[in-house]
Structure 1
């Protein structure tokens, strides 16, 4: 059996309710073009790697989908059709290295500006998605008959994992849904004429244009208005008045580029802010419809920027004593640009008062002057106790013995490893 015959057998055996049959056909067509004439036993992992290399114009995620489709094809032919025996070449080729990027999300201020510039029927769909964590396909397929305002939930039917799930409705969303129930048609969100949004609904472009109108842009890009020219410049923070096209000399026009936030970021906004406010990963998992909490944890459980700053300031408050000592490791505290062992305006609430800080700084200065160059610039010499024996017990101790008769025991928490032997 050839690979092309195996692909035809695979597609013909898919059940009618298989939702991604069209997508499977598209992915397997890439394999059929290159390996279709080969027999199944002739396909090697090297052939798979060459196939993926020829698809360099596709994104890494799409190439991984092609590889997974081929792996599923050979698994089907081995376990179900019993038409092939041997190792799976697509599995042996290894996974495509796909960059793991964090999903974007709208801040509350950004989303408020976005809603104000959108048309009412589109703003309603966006509000429903961001307040329930639903996908674009789930929004356009939501039925009025599946909306239970008294029980505060919407029944989402036929999602990606073929399992119905209940999505809780927050109280703030109830007035909007009451208005949507009065619109014509059976769908909760539809076009202004009452018809359902089709699968080709370009909701991402709707959000992108709304971002430009709301001023949520990352820059501007010059371009030439003449289609025959087709020149496009680099992205700039602000347009230049006198910029002309370098090809035809016409005055350049400018296009504002929206932030990389689309309709799918509404769902990630719900997940990110929901986990940040509740700390309950299982709540986010159930609402989003994930089968495994690890997926939710890996994708959406992250620290918000303000939480990162708050944590960094908390660590800085704990390390105020070290900051008061002043110099970096190996540096000269009295040199130009150093802090010289002084720290101004310690953070409020720190556990180091002024007298303790001055005492520590004074003792540290004495140790540095006596040792000639600072105790951090010299390697500590450990003094062994009398009666050494081959058996030693490792401990940590506050204070070290330095060469030159200088003992740094006055410095707080300078841990070193040393040996303790019975005397």
Structure 2
């Protein structure tokens, strides 16, 4: 069965604070005794006490909204202690509206949680006020109803930290905005587990996503154009996908579609920092990104191309754009933007068209040697066949010899097979040099 049928003791252990466990213990004792009316009444009392404690915690932490509400509540308590009947009326009104206060001013609950807690309050009135019933017919709640209210009280209130709305989002945004927040999604998730995201409500996750996505595009905001926003969004997909995915899809689609051309390169960099979002955004947003890769200014496109171009939906546009790069732009793509895998085909094409040793040495030195770990055996065989198949001026070039030595050193192609390939493609002089350098058997 679902968590609603969890053992009551285990349910009580979910309470965040010791006082909260004490509050709910009376409700559990009543439930076990079959006193379901008393259980529901005590569950409501536990919720109210816990909410008041949370408001006090916020006040102690100098949260302005918490301070205002707590000051108001303390005024009512003072009036009661002074024998002022108005204080009693004010305190009763405070209890009657505490759910609305915590929902509206503190964002403690989402819509469904609020509905569940309002049902608890109404059932509490049915149980506690005989005047609500026909004469001689007391309200008789079922065991299932009492247990449901116990579960909702713990899940929605007693197990939650006191910052679930604006204050929580502000705290998390401050953490993400730091220059020392990690850009890696796994490391980001580790950091975010030490924030209110350790035990968030669905409303908090949705609110945080809104703040991150639109805060990224808001000039002067704490996360304006900060790429760690991408890592934070990716970590939310890892840890809270069911809630995060539809919200990210909706808001990122809107951001990509609505941002003007001047701000679009920054938005493209955000998508590149969280490339999984490419598959979530709508078709109109995807098409705009593809067109950006195809015709956008190179200086704007390059910083986003690595993240965008590796996604299957964007790869064709990225590779087509790269095939138009010259040596200088390709060097920048590899060295400054980490695009070794995307730049490989263009680098090989440039080498295959080389008509001089100077060009050959330049392409090997600045392009192929830096991306050597990305080259497959098929790529290397293609290079060795170039003098015969395309007429590329590789033979005799210093960097071609250095390239072959690196192939041999790494064992990408066994020496015996490498020698055969070299002989077949007019590089027998390299075979003789390699044989002289080998130690005698």
What TM-score range do you get, normalising by the shorter chain?
A: under 0.3
TM-score by length of structure 1 reads: 0.25
TM-score by length of structure 2 reads: 0.24
More helix by share: 2
